Amino acid sequence: MNCESTIHVEQLLGKTLHTREASRHLFGFVAASPCDNIELDFLDVDYISRSFADEFHADKLKLATDHQKSIIVTNANDEIMNMLQSVARTQNKQYKPNTTKTVYRYSNWGPLESYLLSI
C-alpha cells in the first residue's frame, strides 16, 4: 500500500539495542505494516551495537527485496549513524586469514609456564 507509517524504535525496543534479535523483532513490525514506506524513528535511542547494525543492514536489504518496502531512518544520533554507515561500508569486505602464523606447541608444563609468565 502506498502510504507511510512511523515506528518509534525507543518505545518498541528501548534506549540501547545490543542484539541481532532486536533488529529481527523490529523488522517483524515493519513487515507486518501494510505501508510500503516505513519511517524508523530513532529518537531517544542512545546506542546500537555492531551486531544490531549488521543485522539491521541485512534485514533492510531483505525487506526491500522480498516486500518492496523502503526504510527511512530518522532522528538517529551521530553514533548510530556512524555505526550503521561503518557496517554498511564493509559488508563485502574479503578477509584473508593469516595462515602463515606458526602454532607453538608445548608438551611440558615448565616451558609453557615460562612462556605464560612472559606475557
- For other proteins, the binding residues (CB under 8 A) are 13-22, 25, 47, 49-51, 54, 58, 79, 82-83, 86-87, 90, 93, 95-99, 101-109, 112-113, 115-119
Closer CB to other proteins, 74 or 82, in the complex = 82
Contacts of residue 63, Cβ cutoff 8 Å, sequence gap at least 6: 27, 30, 31, 69, 71
CB of 6 to other proteins, least distance (A): 22
What is the C-alpha radius of gyration for the chain, rounded to an integer number of angstroms?
21
CB of 114 to other proteins, least distance (A): 9
Q: Tally Cβ neighbours within 10 Å of residue 102.
A: 5
CB of 59 to other proteins, least distance (A): 10
Contact between residue 56 and residue 50 where contact means Cβ atoms under 8 Å apart = no
